[in-house]
């Protein structure tokens, strides 16, 4: 009996087990299938990534196997020109000083712009048209706050002068090595600088243009406190620049000008200005052994625009020896047949010394004397004595300077006090 | 001929005679122009070159 019961139990158990196994099997199967599917998906992704890595590796190999590209050249110019053989640049300088003066009645100090070489900026550009010809333009303007040519004793409360840019150069030119240079516009006339050739190194503070350091100051009658201002226009009647005229040609003007090519250092110049003034000049620059020489002579006819003088001639020459000693001479005369006035004239001489003793730059010293006659009114005799020093600092584009000058004016029937000045400052070229 | 012009011609003749014994030509300097040489900011060129081709 027991064996039968045992077998029956076993059969029932087996039956029950068999009936329950399909439930368990179905759940695990689904899970196995899910896992298998997941594994298959992961496998696909891995294979895809392997393929991608393989492709990237091939591409990288292709890149690294190529020769290195040429380095990119960064253009130096901020702007571009349409053509070749062109140049353009801008430049400038600032020239500021203190002007100490004693006019016989009072002493004072003014902050000035040195009219000998004013503060300015400029732009120039040119293009090479051929091997022989170059064409170009030049714009240069100055901005003088309290110019030494304008400052005087009568008004020291405000900035003197135009308080704005004023013209110096506004011109176009064609320059041929074989035929010379033709310029049109505002700029130096042919006779400009005919009185002011100077190799001394001190022309920043001392040249035949003796009125530049203090031209605006007025002569004071002995015993008076201020310069005479008879017409009450707040300008002295007799200024230094009125009494000391170095007859330096037609200066700058709106003109057409021609300069010849150089022939053994010799050049010819001529120009015609707006208004009908005209001038001719000759200049020379050469070296004779240990001595460098420059000179210029000019004749100008300004009857078209000026009452007196109708005609003027002026010349200057400067010699610089290798020892550093130098000599500068200048003279000129102006005449007007119709005015009846005395001929205006001047003579000027300067002895100087330049040395390179200091490593920073040249040191220049000078003493000069000049006589200027009949410039303002007939009978005037004006004289000046000056000392100048200029120290150049080459690496800085800078010149420090100081100078002393005395101006005296003798006029029949009038007793003017002498004017003493000291001008100290610096010119920086930027 | 005006006296002034006579003097001018005289100086021209004297100057032209220098040609007979002239030496090496040098560059002529102009008064009151911006001096040649390096500038404080622009360096050796003495000017700011905007373009140069």
The Cα–Cα gap between A308 and A269 comes to 23
Please report whether residue A135 resides in a domain. no
Counting every residue written for chain B, the total comes to 53
Q: pLDDT class for A69, splitting at 50, 70, 90?
A: confident
Q: If 0-12 CB within 10 Å is exposed, 13-18 middle and 19+ buried, where does residue A402 land? A: middle
Per residue in A341-394, pLDDT (tens digit) is 889 999 999 999 999 999 999 999 999 999 999 999 999 999 999 999 999 999
Please report whether residue A268 resides in a domain. yes
CB contact under 8 A, A283 and B50: no
Counting every residue written for chain A, the total comes to 430
Per residue in A231-281, pLDDT (tens digit) is 767 788 899 999 999 999 999 999 999 999 999 899 999 999 998 999 999
Unique residue bearing structure tokens 């299938």? A33
Please report whether residue A45 resides in a domain. no
Q: How many C-beta atoms surround the C-beta of residue A36 within 10 A?
A: 10
Per residue in A147-162, pLDDT (tens digit) is 999 999 987 656 666 6
Question: Which chain B residue has the Cα nearest residue A93?
Answer: B34
Please report whether residue A368 resides in a domain. yes
The Cα–Cα gap between A263 and A283 comes to 11
The Cα–Cα gap between A55 and A332 comes to 91
Question: Which chain A residue has the Cα nearest residue B32?
Answer: A117
CATH number at residue A279: 2.40.160
Looking only at the bridges linking them, the beta strands covering A291-301 and B48-52 are unpaired
Report how many Cβ contacts below 8 Å link chain A to chain B: 162
**How far is CA A309 from its chain centroid?**
34
The boundaries of the domain holding residue A367 are: 187-429
Please report whether residue A159 resides in a domain. no
What is the least distance, in Å, from the CA of A232 to any CA of chain B? 33
Q: Is the pTM of this model over 0.90?
A: no
The Cα–Cα gap between A133 and A115 comes to 35
Interface test with A, best of B7, B31, B37 (most A CBs within 10 A): B31
Structure tokens at A336: 């007007």
To the nearest 10°, the Cα dihedral for A186, A211, A393, A316? 70
Please report whether residue A111 resides in a domain. no
Please report whether residue A177 resides in a domain. no
Minimal Cβ distance to A333: which of B4, B12, B22: B4
The count of domains in chain A is 1
Please report whether residue A157 resides in a domain. no
Residue A312 neighbours by CB under 8 Å, 6+ apart: A247, A249, A299, A300, A302, A332, A333, A334, A335, B4
């Amino acid at each position: 009996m027991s064996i039968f019961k045992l077998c029956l139990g076993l059969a029932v158990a087996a039956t029950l087990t068999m009936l329950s196994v399909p439930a368990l099997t179905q759940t695990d199967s689904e899970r196995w299938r899910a896992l298998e599917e997941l594994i298959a998906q992961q496998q696909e992704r891995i294979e895809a990534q392997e393929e991608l890595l393989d492709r990237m590796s091939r591409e990288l190999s292709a890149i690294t196997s190529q020769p290195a590209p040429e380095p990119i050249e960064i253009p130096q110019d901020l702007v571009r020109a349409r053509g070749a053989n062109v140049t353009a640049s801008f430049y400038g300088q600032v020239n500021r000083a203190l002007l100490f003066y004693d006019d016989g009645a009072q002493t004072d100090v003014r902050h000035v712009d040195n009219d000998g070489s004013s503060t300015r900026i400029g732009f120039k550009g040119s293009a090479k048209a051929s091997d022989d010809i170059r064409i170009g333009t030049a714009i240069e303007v100055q901005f003088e706050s309290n110019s030494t040519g304008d400052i005087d004793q009568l008004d020291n409360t405000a900035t003197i002068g135009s308080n704005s840019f004023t013209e110096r150069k506004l011109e176009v030119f064609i320059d041929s090595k074989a035929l010379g240079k033709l310029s049109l516009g505002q700029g130096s006339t042919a006779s400009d600088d005919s009185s002011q050739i100077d190799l001394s190194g001190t022309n920043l503070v001392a040249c035949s243009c003796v009125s530049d350091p203090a031209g605006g100051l007025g002569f004071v009658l002995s015993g008076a406190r201020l310069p005479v201002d008879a017409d009450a226009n707040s300008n002295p009647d007799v200024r230094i620049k009125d009494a000391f005229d170095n007859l330096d040609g037609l200066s700058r003007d709106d003109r057409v000008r021609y300069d010849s090519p150089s022939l053994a250092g010799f050049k010819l110049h001529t120009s015609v200005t707006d208004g009908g003034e005209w001038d001719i000049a000759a200049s020379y620059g050469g070296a004779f052994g240990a001595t460098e020489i420059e000179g210029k002579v000019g004749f100008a006819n300004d009857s078209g625009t000026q009452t007196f003088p109708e005609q003027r001639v002026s010349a200057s020459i400067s010699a610089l020896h290798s020892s550093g000693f130098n000599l500068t001479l200048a003279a000129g005369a102006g005449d007007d047949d119709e005015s009846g006035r005395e001929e205006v004239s001047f003579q000027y001489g300067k002895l100087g010394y330049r040395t390179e003793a200091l490593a920073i730059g040249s040191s220049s010293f000078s003493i000069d004397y000049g006589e200027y006659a009949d410039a303002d009114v007939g009978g005037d005799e004006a004289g000046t004595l000056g000392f100048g020093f200029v120290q150049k600092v080459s690496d800085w584009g800078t010149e420090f300077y100081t100078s002393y000058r005395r101006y005296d004016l003798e006029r029949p029937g009038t007793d003017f006090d002498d004017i003493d000045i000291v001008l100290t400052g610096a010119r920086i070229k930027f | 001929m005006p006296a002034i012009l006579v003097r001018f011609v005289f100086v021209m003749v004297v100057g032209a005679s220098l040609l007979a014994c002239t030496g090496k030509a040098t560059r002529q300097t102009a008064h009151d122009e911006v001096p040649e040489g390096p500038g404080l900011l622009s360096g050796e060129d003495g000017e700011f070159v905007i373009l140069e081709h």
